[in-house]
Chains A and B, each alone.
Chain A
Amino acid sequence: DAKTTQPPSMDCAEGRAANLPCNHSTISGNEYVYWYRQIHSQGPQYIIHGLKNNETNEMASLIITEDRKSSTLILPHATLRDTAVYYCIVRVVSDYKLSFGAGTTVTVRA
């Protein structure tokens, strides 16, 4: 019973921005949005998280809508190494469990 909805797959051209959408229409006020990615044959990798403000780090930017019902992960300049499954997860920050859905398989093409 995942709390998020993501497209199953998307393609992106190398060097272009990749915009990954996530719907979380039932998000609670104390739940954060987390993004992880999993490159083939590796464990998931933490990317970014946020509550309501937009966030940016060296890997990506997270844009959360004002009503918090959806968000977008932006990879500003996608490379072939960004090909992975991307998971959007909502959780209360004090909750230790992560509930993964099926994620979005992102393929970056040269």
Chain B
Amino acid sequence: DTGVSQDPRHKITKRGQNVTFRCDPISEHNRLYWYRQTLGQGPEFLTYFQNEAQLEKSRLLSDRFSAERPKGSFSTLEIQRTEQGDSAMYLCASSPAQPGYGYTFGSGTRLTVV
């Protein structure tokens, strides 16, 4: 088990471009989460999947953001028309369905919008 994998680790993009990040959770985990973290702050919840169903989206997730988890396996987070304020670390985590387990986080994708 290699844990939660995120790709790429770093992404630099120009303002206005679209970017897509990928997350591969632990294979037996059916819950998957996306968080965003800006410098000096704790991570903030963005969205949550149980299997392929997206069950909640934070108000932080504007309509430029979309997340998918086809077939309940890997997930993608796309940001359209990026803005400088989107610069942050995007973290993915997964957990089993049974309550009480801690989450396993990936190492994140650091996005810099120039």
> Hey, which bits of chain A sit against chain B, CB under 8 A?
32, 34, 36, 41-47, 49, 85, 87, 93-94, 96-103
| A-chain residues with CB within 8 Å of residue B100 when the two chains form the complex | 32, 49, 93
Among B14-22, B42-50, B67-75, B77-85, the one that faces the other chain is: B42-50
Whole-angstrom CA separation of A72 from B34 in the bound complex: 28
For the complex of A and B, the 10 pairs showing the least CB-CB separation, nearest first, are A46-B102, A100-B42, A43-B105, A93-B99, A93-B100, A94-B99, A97-B45, A44-B105, A100-B43, A43-B91
- Which of the listed residues A32, A41, A47 has the most CB atoms from chain B within 10 Å of its own CB? A41
Complex interface: chain B residues within 8 A of A44 (CB): 43, 91, 93, 103, 105
Closest to B6 in A: A43
Interface string of B12-42 (1 = CB under 8 A from A): 0000000000000000000101010000111
The reply to whether B105 and A45 contact each other, CB–CB distance below 8 Å, is yes
Which residues of A have CB within 8 Å of B76? none
From residue A65, how far is it (CB to closest CB) to chain B in Å? 21
- What is the count of residue pairs linking A and B with beta-carbon distances less than 8 angstroms? 54
Interface size class of B (residues with CB under 8 A): 20 to 34
Q: Are B41 and A98 touching (Cβ within 8 A)? A: no
